[in-house]
């Protein structure tokens, strides 16, 4: 191994350790619950990441465990990957992203609950995003999106605030996705694969 390869391997290892350490730190933080939250209309809101107001606190939340199709071609590689996952064209994936965004906006017209540990969801925008579980009328927003064929199972795993293991949450989401595929709901209506 030459010196450059050793340095690159060290940098990669340190980066992975830092990312893992921040994830472990977030996993040890207690859940914070916000009730009576409201959806805040913003041009960059989409199906899995959106602006909310909870009392005096405003923030951008990113749903745990799911990934809704993009609404714009701004991130072409991601849109292409999503289209391949669902077995649809790029235009169909973008249309599904718009439907996911509209579904979230409609579902969040009534006050809702946000649970977060303040774990950073990263992103390319200037406003920090926090990973969260969102409940609407007692139902998981992630489950709603997957059951309607408007999101895939992907993202940072986490146990629920109520203590359900991440593996159990994912298993339920996969069952909902299977049902959405069989019923040809949402983006699965035009899928040519999977």
* pLDDT exceeds cutoff 70 at 50: yes
Question: What is 21-71 written as a DSSP string?
Answer: HHHHHHHHSPPEEEEEEEEE--TT--SSEEEEEETTEEEEEEESSEEPPPS
Single pTM value for the model? 0.84
Residue 3's pLDDT band, with cuts at 50, 70 and 90, is low
118/46 same-domain check: yes
Residue 2's pLDDT band, with cuts at 50, 70 and 90, is low
78/96 same-domain check: yes
pLDDT of residue 82: 97
Q: What is the length of the chain?
A: 194
pLDDT tens, residue by residue, 133-192: 999 999 999 999 999 999 999 988 999 999 999 999 999 999 999 999 999 999 999 999
Q: Which of 3-7, 56-60, 106-110 has the lowest mean pLDDT?
A: 3-7
* pLDDT exceeds cutoff 60 at 8: no
67/90 same-domain check: yes
38/117 same-domain check: yes
pLDDT tens, residue by residue, 85-139: 999 999 999 999 999 999 999 999 999 999 999 999 987 777 789 999 999 999 9
pLDDT of residue 128: 86
Q: What is the CATH number of the domain that holds 85?
A: 2.40.50.90
Each as own residue / partner, the long-range contacts of residues 71-80 (CB below 8 Å, 24 or more positions apart, any chain) are 71/46, 71/47, 71/97, 71/98, 71/100, 71/101, 72/97, 75/124
128/168 same-domain check: yes
25/99 same-domain check: no
pLDDT of residue 115: 98
Residue span of the structural domain in which 14 resides: 1-29
């Amino acid at each position: 191994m030459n010196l450059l390869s050793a340095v690159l391997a060290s940098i990669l290892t340190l980066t992975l350790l830092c990312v893992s350490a921040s994830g472990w730190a977030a996993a040890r933080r207690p859940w914070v619950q916000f009730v009576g939250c409201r959806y805040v209309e913003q041009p960059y809101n989409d199906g899995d990441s959106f602006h909310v107001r909870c009392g005096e606190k405003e923030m951008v939340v990113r749903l745990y465990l799911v990934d809704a199709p993009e609404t714009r071609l701004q991130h072409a590689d991601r849109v292409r990957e999503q289209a391949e996952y669902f077995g649809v064209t790029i235009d169909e994936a973008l249309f599904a992203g718009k439907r996911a965004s509209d579904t979230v906006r409609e579902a969040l017209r009534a006050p809702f609950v946000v649970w977060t540990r303040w774990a950073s969801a990263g992103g390319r925008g200037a406003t920090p995003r926090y990973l969260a579980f969102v409940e609407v009328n007692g139902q998981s927003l992630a489950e709603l999106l997957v059951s309607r064929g408007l999101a895939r199972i992907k993202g940072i795993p986490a146990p629920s605030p109520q203590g359900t293991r991440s593996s159990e949450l994912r298993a339920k989401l996969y069952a909902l996705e299977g049902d959405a595929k069989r019923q040809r709901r949402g983006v699965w209506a035009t899928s040519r694969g999977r």
